[in-house]
């Protein structure tokens, strides 16, 4: 019945979903949080700066091949060459990562769903239970031998990669692959189990730094209850509704600008700036900055 009620409400204008934000702005989201009602790496697709734009040197048949499991099994060298550039430890968490950690410390974080594979959320202090790493992680690796599956930890893989060695299993000599999701592989089972339990009880959804182009991750914005506010912090608006899918009741995406908009807020800018703006409104800005500074090492000459 709830599904039908939401469907008719969205598509036919019968009834109005409950509006819980007093204003469709970052400040409105901040007041919602305060009211007590709520419980430097290149990306893949940004024009000119995305990862795909930097792969020409590997002489791939097409850019996506470097992340295809079939290509990897036949020719793993390009992936591990790229892995040396992107490997955890080469980059450090940002203000955004520590803002998420701060939400955990404030008792507000139900879960962090991430498409990133760099483990920076873990470096910032989130635990395995806090995270759903939808596209996998470098944190662990497994042998892909048919009858093996031996697990390896981050230090083992790091030693192999930075020794210019193709990681091979100590037991069976098959390839060892970091536990990131390649094209042609299924998402981790945790993604689906956590999705079922988390998204029915979420009070606020914050979406940061994503194109919302890759399924099934992109569809998550439509999984929350109809009254749940959704805040997008991004350089441009994304995830906006498709009227056809909305008519079918398949989520319908976000609605920032129409006359029927009632819960979606877009804050345009970098993730760090957006998190600092929200932290400032909440009175957390100093806490977020201190968390970040505490974990950054500077080399200064005075």
* Binding site per annotation, positions for NAD(+): 43-45, 115-118, 210-211, 234-236, 271
**Which is catalytic among the residues 97, 135, 139, 142?**
135
Distance between CA atoms of 282 and 279, rounded to whole angstroms?
5
Active site residue 135: yes
Which residues are annotated as part of the binding site? Answer: 43-45, 115-118, 143, 148, 169, 172, 210-211, 234-236, 271
Tell me the Ramachandran region of residue 38: left when phi exceeds 0, alpha when psi lies from -120 to 50, beta otherwise.
beta
How far is the CA of 261 from the CAs of 10, 112, 157, 236, 247, in angstroms? 11, 26, 48, 18, 16
Which has the closest alpha carbon to 16: 226, 253, 231? 226
Neighbours of 101 (CB within 10 A): 23
Q: What torsion, rounded to 10 degrees, do the Cα atoms 239, 255, 113, 175 define?
A: -10
The tokens describing 165, both together, are 């060695």
What are the two backbone dihedrals, phi and then psi, of residue 151, each rounded to the nearest 5 degrees? -95, 140
Q: Strand, coil or helix: what is 177?
A: strand
Count other C-beta atoms under 10 Å from residue 160's C-beta.
Answer: 18
- Binding annotation for Zn(2+): 143, 148, 169, 172
What one-character-per-residue DSSP string does 130-164 give? TEEETTEEEEEEEE--TT---EEEHHHHHHHHHTT
Tokens 């430890």 sit on residue: 89
Active site residues: 135
């Amino acid at each position: 019945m709830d599904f039908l009620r939401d469907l008719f409400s969205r598509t036919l204008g019968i009834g109005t979903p409950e509006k819980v934000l007093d204003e469709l702005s970052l400040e409105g989201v901040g007041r919602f949080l305060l009211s007590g009602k709520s419980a430097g790496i290149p990306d893949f697709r940004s024009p000119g700066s995305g990862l795909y734009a930097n792969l020409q040197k590997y002489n791939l048949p097409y850019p996506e091949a470097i992340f295809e499991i079939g290509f990897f099994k036949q020719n793993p060298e390009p992936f591990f060459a790229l892995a040396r550039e992107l490997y955890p430890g080469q980059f450090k968490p940002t203000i955004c990562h520590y803002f998420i950690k701060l939400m955990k410390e404030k008792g507000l974080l139900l879960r962090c769903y991430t498409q990133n594979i760099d483990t920076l959320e873990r470096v910032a202090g989130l635990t395995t239970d806090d995270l759903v790493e939808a596209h996998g992680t470098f944190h662990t690796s497994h042998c892909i031998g048919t009858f093996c599956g031996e697990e390896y930890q981050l230090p083992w893989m790091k030693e192999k990669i930075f020794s210019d060695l193709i990681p091979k299993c100590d037991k069976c000599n098959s390839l060892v692959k970091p536990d990131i999701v390649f094209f042609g592989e299924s998402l981790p089972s945790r993604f689906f189990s956590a999705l079922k339990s988390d998204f029915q009880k979420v009070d606020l959804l914050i979406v940061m730094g994503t194109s919302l182009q890759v399924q099934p991750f992109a569809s998550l914005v439509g999984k929350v209850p109809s009254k749940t506010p959704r805040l997008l912090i991004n350089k441009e608006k994304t995830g906006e509704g498709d009227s056809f899918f909305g008519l079918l009741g398949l989520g319908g995406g976000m609605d920032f600008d129409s006359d029927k908009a009632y819960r979606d807020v877009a804050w345009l800018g970098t993730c760090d700036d957006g998190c600092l703006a929200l932290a400032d409104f909440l009175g957390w800005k100093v806490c977020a900055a201190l968390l970040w500074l505490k974990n950054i090492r500077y080399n200064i000459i005075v």
